[in-house]
Amino acid sequence: MDHTSMQPAIVIENLRKNYGTKQVLKGVNLEIFPGQIIGYIGPNGAGKSTTVKILCGLINDYEGTVTVNGTDLKQEPIRVKSMIGYVPELAELYEVLTPREFLELMGQLYNVPDAVLAMRITGLMEAFGLGSNLDQRMDTFSKGMRQKVLIASGILHNPDILILDEPLSGLDANSVIIIKELISSLAREGKTIFYCSHMMDVVEKVSDRIVLINEGAVIANGTFEELQHQLGSNSLEKIFSSLTATESPSAKAHQMINLLENKTVST
């Protein structure tokens, strides 16, 4: 599908953000279209999380323009937030609540009608294998169980745009397969997926386009096949390493092994 024949769902123009004297984003420009899955990757400290927080309306003191479905984020932040589903990296939930109570709260914040909300809560939890845990307090849940509830809360209001920050963290293999299928299905329905992850193999497989950010600037932007052709690497992991690593990963590993095997170091 030629997504670019449509109006973009997200337009980011000259996005800049400083924390004190440290410039975290240095003029990021992106257009993301309905039905696209964007893999947004970069090393630690590259500016990924800051970009995500700006898109979700959690940071508002930035320079540049962010437009979501034609709406300026700074001028109408509440309207933009209503269009977005966000799954953060850390599953910080109200643990004294049950999944049903937590998801009811999330659905009511997005004005989901009660009958629709009840149906979606039950259906999503059963699909995730948590139907029997609907009324169990979440302080007893494993990390993977909490992550499933968090993902359900992000899609509960059927948003046009889904922002995922390491959504597979803590999930078992079967749940990972379900989420990958869910992401692809939502994109086919015209949803826009902004996917941040360090899991290069998953990003490589699910993304229509991959955007690599390093030191606050976009340094690669294209399909996996385009990046392969441009950089002559056969995996996204190798592309990532060639563009961002200051030293060979194998050299780093050997350095650590040599350090561990050095018998002359006193303890």
Q: What is the pLDDT of residue 230?
A: 84
Alpha-carbon dihedral 52, 57, 61, 64, rounded to 10 degrees: 70
With b for 16 or more beta-carbon neighbours within 10 A and e for fewer, the 22-38 pattern comes to eebbbebebbbbbbbbb
Mean pLDDT taken over the chain: 89
Averaged pLDDT for residues 251-259: 74
Averaged pLDDT for residues 64-80: 95
- Tell me the CATH number for domain 3-261: 3.40.50.300
pLDDT exceeds 60 at position 265: no
CA distance 44 to 198: 9
Confirm if 149 and 93 have CB atoms less than 8 A apart.
Answer: yes
**228: Cβ–Cβ under 8 A, 6 or more apart, which residues?**
234, 239
Which range has the top average pLDDT, 14-18, 196-200, 252-256? Answer: 14-18
CA distance 122 to 129: 11
pLDDT band at 237 (very low <50, low <70, confident <90, very high): confident
Averaged pLDDT for residues 63-76: 95
Averaged pLDDT for residues 184-198: 93
pLDDT exceeds 70 at position 264: no
DSSP 118: H
Kind of pairing between the strands at 192-196 and 209-214:
unpaired
Per residue, what are the HEC states of 145-174? HHHHHHHHHHHCCCCCEEEEECCCCCCCHH
Q: What is the pLDDT of residue 197?
A: 87
pLDDT exceeds 80 at position 250: no
pLDDT exceeds 80 at position 246: no
pLDDT exceeds 80 at position 136: yes
Of the listed ranges 121-130, 212-221, 231-240, the least confidently predicted one is: 231-240
- CA 226 and chain centroid, separation: 22
E strand residue ranges, 78-137: 84-87
pLDDT exceeds 60 at position 122: yes
pLDDT exceeds 90 at position 232: no
Q: What is the pLDDT of residue 256?
A: 78
Compare 212 and 249 and report the one with higher pLDDT: 212
E strand residue ranges, 166-216: 192-196, 209-214
Three-state DSSP class for 108?
Answer: helix
Domain boundaries, the chain: 3-261
Confirm if 59 and 52 have CB atoms less than 8 A apart.
Answer: no
Q: What is the pLDDT of residue 234?
A: 79
pLDDT band at 52 (very low <50, low <70, confident <90, very high): very high
pLDDT band at 267 (very low <50, low <70, confident <90, very high): very low
pLDDT exceeds 80 at position 150: yes
pLDDT exceeds 70 at position 79: yes
Averaged pLDDT for residues 100-105: 96
Averaged pLDDT for residues 210-235: 89
CA distance 24 to 213: 11
Residue with tokens 């170091």: 265
